[in-house]
Structure 1
Amino acid sequence: MRLLARLMAVTASTVTVLSVTAAVSAAAAPELVVNGTFGSGTAPWWKSANTTMALDAERLRVNVPGGTANPWDAMIGHNDIKLTSGKAYKLSFDASASAPVTAVTTVQLANSPYTNTLTKTISLTTTSKRFSFPFTSSLSTSGGQVSFQLGKNAGFSFYLDNVSLTETSSTSPSPSPSPTTSPTTSPTTTPKPEEPGSGPVAMTDGFYVDPQSNPAIWVRANAGDSRAARIKSSISDKPMARWFGNWSGDVGAAVSRHVAAADAANKLPVLVAYNIPGRDACGGHSGGGAGSESAYKTWISAFASGIGNRPAIVVIEPDSLGDFGCMTDTAIQARNRMLVYATQQFRDKATNAWAYLDGGNAGWVAAGTMATRLKNAGVGNIRGFSMNVSNYYTTAQSATYASSVNASLGGGARFVIDTSRNGNGSNGEWCNPAGRKLGTPTQLGGGGGAEMLLWVKIPGDSDGNCGIAPNVPAGQFSPAIAVRLIDGT
């Protein structure tokens, strides 16, 4: 079946679509690509001389030679694309390959200086996948081009179908051009951040349900337990984060395996980096982390590299900016250096990930103070900040606090809220308190200005040897805690 687009937004257990109104609007937008379904042959698509292309099962097959030095040394494309500077567009297509390879897609000038207004590296597998890239044009031209740069790989076959380029609005300000991957003019400023519903969200088909979460492992191992079915349906079948720390072994490989599994399912994974030296300085139950500043920088660089250009959501170092009251000035300075480095690594190496630096919770640090800490720790390098990780404040309380933090930052950041255990709000305790309840499952949006509501803390994992679980160490799953969260007791 041919699909001109795959519209998505995320709910707890299903993938919802954009509203009917938006769908109708998108359908009515003029299509700028001619014969993107290849229903009438291959024209007007062109190819470089070293490739061949033909129809194969109602899609385009391009045979790409090996031995090329650059991505643009083997190409196909479509010219005569009309673009207007400042208008928003979306490029979408289905693509796969005969072997796992990377390629580059661009929207750019068809002739010298080949200025790009969109450049994206795509990871191709043998399974066809829908790609979707919103962007705002920095070009006004009738001589635009959609290209697929396929070189710098061993010989393979590239498959393409359902290519669409449509205008999505006409009022967005013009950003600087995206970085180029072929001979083009270079941008001098950072492109405008992608809007909610674009980026890794638009590249995937819902949030990833981790089959190796602590609750999922417990359910499989205890199928005969009377609590297993409830924990499965209420917790382990829901999308939640995977935490990585000094227990993860080779973190680059561990992250890559997890993200690859999500990518193979066309789902969006949520990851947590939790290995800052001296972590949980105030709480104490989750102490540890990398052994030194240099060790942490090596670790976090490998983490970001493990994601690569695959879509992901990342929460960076929960509690790391709330702990300052329990740290020396020297330790605070070192922590800021490490966090700035971390944000740079995700910005530069995880190019299709949205990263959020943790900003504590609504009951910990004054909003203006937290904004200063976030700024000093490099929040400007990434998407924004996270709220309420492993805590219990309501979504409304968290959103109000986060909005104040963002106002103090100048309004340029976005935020996400951990809702895993905030169904009954906070009673002022943070370590396995009684009477807490599961909150709204992971979803896109959610009120109060939050970009996403996420289950960051794993429901049922202990906060430490305290509260209703005095004998359960931090991070260990307890079915008793899980059931109490389901029941709100």
Structure 2
Amino acid sequence: MSRTIPRTALLAALSLVTAAGATATVFGTSAGAATAGCKVEYQITNQWNNGFGANVIVTNTGDPVASWNVEWSYANGQQVTQGWNAAITQSGAAVSAKSLSYNGSLATGGSTSFGFNGSHDGTNAVPATFKLNGVTCNGATDPTTPPTTPPTTPPTTPPPTGGRADNPYAGAKVYVNPEWSAKAAAEPGGTRVSNQPTGVWLDRTAAIAGVNGGMGLRAHLDAALAQKGSGELVVQLVIYNLPGRDCSALASNGELGPTDIDKYKTQYIDPIAAILADPKYAGLRIVNTVELDSLPNLVTNVSGRPTATPNCDVMKANGNYVKGVGYALNKLGSIANVYNYLDAGHHGWLGWDDNFGASAEILKQAATAEGSTVANVQGFIVNTANFSALKEDHFSIDDSVGGTSVRQSKWVDWNRYTDELSYAQAMRTKLASLGFDSHIGMLIDTSRNGWGGAARPTAAGPLTTVDTYVNGGRYDRRIHLGNWCNQAGAGLGERPQAAPAAGIDAYVWMKPPGESDGASKEIPNNEGKGFDRMCDPTYTGNVRNGNSMSGALPNSPLAGQWFSAQFQELMKNAYPAL
């Protein structure tokens, strides 16, 4: 906890704080209006040569406002060069940051945040005073040091022949998306996780340039250079725009039709590749997670399978999933500092014997299509945007109760795996046996698989039956393993970290916590995103989830949009706890 100190002591303390962690918190009320007031937290998040990055958190301690304008003056000639989540202008030393259309409303006690990059001439002191809508914030507390940019990583693994590191996450920081960070920090309690690294989703062509005034790909890469400093830094991108994308889940459908393979190549992949190949970004380690979900549908959701859909039959017949992934891997894999990780589903989808090997084969087929080779794949990612528990400690696939195998329980249902870690390690072995490099590494998305809180079991279930044993001890509290949309009771999982287990390059938060999986009711949109009943909490299910309730949270927005209720639930149920 902070204690109040005189301003002279605050400024003296600030001069001793290192630039990468400098923070000042300023409170205030105006002398003439007791109900007006503000708190501004100004954080210098990074510093390099003559540049720096900053994050500003604004809390309204007075009456509600419909829009805001935060003002301050620099004493040392600093200049703002690029900003986000606010309209930032500067005249001489005076800086003004005004709210945008989507973040102007601030209730009493409400917070928002914005960020920017700037330049300085060697001295970069925190501004002495701030104003919110003309009200001076004129008190102070001790400066505090924010969390360092995660994850903490082991020493760098020497790069193999060809210049790429064996594990790009080793010895590197990972890019913190300032747009996601600002949304997270604006949530009550969100600053506990708001500087965790998350994936940047390029889920439509317009996202390359930036949507609705948001940051485009170049802006993110420029911001990554600002965060990099003198060490190594990983930028995580999600390449996600295949023709006829995700043929079995309407909520994640995309903008391109089933036959739009040429548009995918020339209007989506080629522009991304051109930006990533810019020599300006050669010092970044760029991790592409390539085309989530779609490829395994060609195994599990086509004719002859109980979960078949006509759309998946179309995509299998025209070959555009395989062609699109092959083209993306070939084009992006030719860039020396790019690392491609191909999506390999999750254990609750591909862990069954009749799905596992066939899915590995289709991944190999795509990796060698359109002129690509397996050398363009540095690894695979599992559990992206899913909820499967990282490790089930209270039962194993080899257990039995009264002579009945755990595999025969309703929850496991003859699956070969009980959790994501065992599945990821087994899939890695299988893929290496098909000709992928034996050094390939796996990523596991742990952004929403923590399953903590009061419902987290501390021991195995009763030995009455195999079902009471499994259900009483399992961490994953979904109604059914096939439920995937905005799951109630879910929590943040393991924090991003490099090399956490054998064969695993990193635990990552590729799906940004707080971004919706899909709308709980039909919402017209121009993004190609449909209404999937699995996102409706009243839905009683289908063959894919054993005709069970969907387990989805109510009142969810379109896929990718901010969902405050989900973010709060994830923090509440985080494991490890926040």
> Is the structural similarity TM-score above 0.5?
yes
- Give 3-state SS (helix, strand or coil) of 2:234's partner: coil
The letter for the 2-side match of 1:294 is D
Q: Is the 8 A contact 2:292 2:384 kept in 1?
A: yes
User: C-alpha distance in 1, partners of 2:430/2:359?
Assistant: 9
Corresponding residue number in structure 1 for 2:379: 384
Q: Does 1:210 align with 2:164?
A: no
Please report how far the alpha carbon of residue 360 of structure 1 lies from its aligned counterpart in structure 2 after TM superposition. Answer: 0.7
Q: Does 1:339 align with 2:293?
A: no
Corresponding residue number in structure 2 for 1:304: 273
Question: TM-score, normalised to structure 2's length?
Answer: 0.47
Question: TM-score, normalised to structure 1's length?
Answer: 0.55
User: C-alpha distance in 2, partners of 1:343/1:244?
Assistant: 15
Q: Alpha-carbon deviations, 1:216-261, whole Å to 9, x = none? A: 23644xxxxxxx2412323x22111110122634459932221221
User: C-alpha distance in 2, partners of 1:217/1:487?
Assistant: 17
- Give 3-state SS (helix, strand or coil) of 2:295's partner: coil
- Give 3-state SS (helix, strand or coil) of 2:265's partner: helix
- Higher radius of gyration, 1 or 2: 2
User: C-alpha distance in 1, partners of 2:236/2:486?
Assistant: 23
1:107-118 pair list within 5 angstroms: none
Corresponding residue number in structure 1 for 2:202: 244
The letter for the 2-side match of 1:478 is F
Corresponding residue number in structure 2 for 1:477: 562
The letter for the 1-side match of 2:560 is G
Pick the aligned partner of 2:512 from 458, 482, 485: 458
Corresponding residue number in structure 1 for 2:553: 468
User: C-alpha distance in 1, partners of 2:170/2:274?
Assistant: 20
Q: Does 1:232 align with 2:191?
A: yes
Pick the aligned partner of 1:418 from 434, 441, 445: 445
Q: Does 1:369 align with 2:328?
A: no
User: C-alpha distance in 2, partners of 1:463/1:194?
Assistant: 33
Pick the aligned partner of 1:277 from 214, 223, 243: 243
User: C-alpha distance in 1, partners of 2:449/2:275?
Assistant: 31
Please report how far the alpha carbon of residue 437 of structure 1 lies from its aligned counterpart in structure 2 after TM superposition. Answer: 0.7
Q: Moved runs in structure 1, 4+ residues, more than 3 A?
A: 191-194, 199-202, 217-220, 247-253, 329-332
- Give 3-state SS (helix, strand or coil) of 2:238's partner: strand
Pick the aligned partner of 1:407 from 393, 411, 429: 429
The letter for the 1-side match of 2:201 is W
Corresponding residue number in structure 2 for 1:5: none
Corresponding residue number in structure 2 for 1:436: 490
Change (3 A) 1:192 1:254: closer
Please report how far the alpha carbon of residue 193 of structure 1 lies from its aligned counterpart in structure 2 after TM superposition. Answer: 6.4
Please report how far the alpha carbon of residue 362 of structure 1 lies from its aligned counterpart in structure 2 after TM superposition. Answer: 0.7
Q: Does 1:313 align with 2:295?
A: no
The letter for the 2-side match of 1:476 is Q
Corresponding residue number in structure 2 for 1:488: 573
User: C-alpha distance in 2, partners of 1:386/1:229?
Assistant: 31
Q: Is the 8 A contact 1:274 1:289 kept in 2?
A: no
User: C-alpha distance in 1, partners of 2:197/2:345?
Assistant: 22
User: C-alpha distance in 1, partners of 2:357/2:163?
Assistant: 25
**279-288 or 355-364, larger mean C-alpha shift:** 279-288
Corresponding residue number in structure 1 for 2:50: none
The letter for the 2-side match of 1:334 is N
Q: Is the 8 A contact 1:420 1:459 kept in 2?
A: yes
- Give 3-state SS (helix, strand or coil) of 1:357's partner: strand
Q: Is the 8 A contact 1:200 1:353 kept in 2?
A: no
User: C-alpha distance in 2, partners of 1:417/1:301?
Assistant: 28
Please report how far the alpha carbon of residue 342 of structure 1 lies from its aligned counterpart in structure 2 after TM superposition. Answer: 0.6
Q: Alpha-carbon deviations, 1:286-318, whole Å to 9, x = none? A: 211335101111211221222223321111111
Q: Is the 8 A contact 1:367 1:402 kept in 2?
A: no
Please report how far the alpha carbon of residue 357 of structure 1 lies from its aligned counterpart in structure 2 after TM superposition. Answer: 0.8
Q: Does 1:352 align with 2:337?
A: yes
Structure 1 unmatched runs, 5+: 1-12, 15-125, 128-167, 179-190, 221-227
Corresponding residue number in structure 1 for 2:44: none
User: C-alpha distance in 1, partners of 2:318/2:192?
Assistant: 42
User: C-alpha distance in 1, partners of 2:166/2:513?
Assistant: 30
1:128-147 pair list within 5 angstroms: none
Q: Is the 8 A contact 2:346 2:383 kept in 1?
A: yes
Change (3 A) 1:250 1:479: closer
Corresponding residue number in structure 1 for 2:227: 265
Q: Alpha-carbon deviations, 1:54-76, whole Å to 9, x = none? A: xxxxxxxxxxxxxxxxxxxxxxx
User: C-alpha distance in 2, partners of 1:430/1:486?
Assistant: 18
User: C-alpha distance in 1, partners of 2:219/2:190?
Assistant: 26
Change (3 A) 1:192 1:255: closer
- Give 3-state SS (helix, strand or coil) of 1:377's partner: helix
Q: Is the 8 A contact 2:208 2:272 kept in 1?
A: no
Change (3 A) 1:481 1:275: same
- Give 3-state SS (helix, strand or coil) of 1:268's partner: strand
Please report how far the alpha carbon of residue 201 of structure 1 lies from its aligned counterpart in structure 2 after TM superposition. Answer: 4.7
User: C-alpha distance in 2, partners of 1:440/1:248?
Assistant: 32
Pick the aligned partner of 2:390 from 389, 395, 402: 395
User: C-alpha distance in 2, partners of 1:307/1:441?
Assistant: 27
- Give 3-state SS (helix, strand or coil) of 2:330's partner: helix
Change (3 A) 1:336 1:237: same
Q: Is the 8 A contact 2:360 2:431 kept in 1?
A: yes
- Give 3-state SS (helix, strand or coil) of 2:501's partner: coil
**419-428 or 246-255, larger mean C-alpha shift:** 246-255
Give the superposed CA RMSD.
3.0
- Give 3-state SS (helix, strand or coil) of 1:395's partner: coil
User: C-alpha distance in 2, partners of 1:212/1:192?
Assistant: 31
Change (3 A) 1:336 1:472: same
Corresponding residue number in structure 1 for 2:531: none
Structure 2 unmatched runs, 5+: 1-19, 22-118, 121-155, 302-308, 368-373, 392-418, 452-474, 521-534, 536-551
The letter for the 2-side match of 1:386 is I
Q: Is the 8 A contact 1:399 1:448 kept in 2?
A: no
Change (3 A) 1:470 1:479: closer
User: C-alpha distance in 1, partners of 2:377/2:560?
Assistant: 27
Corresponding residue number in structure 2 for 1:141: none
